[in-house]
Amino acid sequence: MRVLVACEFSGTVREAFKARGHEAWSCDLLPTEVDGNHYQCDVADIIGLGWDLMIAHPPCTYLSSSGLHWNKRRPERAEQTEKAIDFVMFLANAPIKMIAIENPIGCLSTRWRKPDQIIQPYQFGHDASKATCLWLIGLEKLRPTKNVDPRLVNGRPRWGNQTDSGQNKLPPSDDRWKIRSETFQGIAEAMSEQWG
């Protein structure tokens, strides 16, 4: 298949599909972090090139629940949220038969539709928690591949990327957004195996 991984600079999903023999390309405004098939451009420039499958990771800065509270305090952010929703709708209406759009829990559930599935890295072999919504067009839900049990803190489940109170352990930094946006390898492999 010809696979487009939109809004991916890490190459994780692209390389998982390539390993299974597909012609896979990533596309992002940023350069790729792993040498390989990568368009460094606006995805609108290449979306009509005859793809069989697109997995899209639109930026979540203005869509996720964790950032939406800023919209009331900083009205210019609300305009950015509208632009982000328009971009997701552009991706969802692409001329591609199979589409998966990935994003954290946020306003897409109310402004567009509920996700078809919410997955966690701990369902795919990682000692980590990060609820990830999937909106699917022409694709089946991902089946978990390897469950990782949490540690219990006062009776509550916590994974390796969480503090005992449940917050993400990753400290503030200039590239925190980049680290947090990368797809877990186990999820990328499940996508390539099950959708490829």
Residue 99 φ then ψ, to 5°: -135, 135
Q: What is the pLDDT of residue 77?
A: 79
Q: Percentage of the chain surpassing pLDDT 70?
A: 91
pTM for the predicted model, two decimal places: 0.91
Beta strands 2-6 and 23-28: pairing type? Answer: parallel
Tens of pLDDT, residues 24-65: 999 999 999 999 999 999 999 999 999 999 999 998 876 777
Residues 6+ apart with CB under 8 A from 41: 27, 29
More confident residue, 100 or 172: 100
Beta strands 156-158 and 53-56: pairing type? Answer: unpaired
Q: What is the pLDDT of residue 162?
A: 84
Residue 111 φ then ψ, to 5°: -85, -20
CA 64 to CA 108: how far, in whole Å? 8
**Nearest in space to 51 (alpha carbons), one of 3, 12, 110, 13:** 3
Q: Domains in the chain, start-ordered, CATH in brackets? A: 2-195 (3.40.50)
Residues 6+ apart with CB under 8 A from 91: 6, 43, 47, 54, 56, 58, 99, 101
**Nearest in space to 122 (alpha carbons), one of 154, 162, 64, 179:** 162
CA 156 to CA 167: how far, in whole Å? 13
More confident residue, 70 or 37: 37
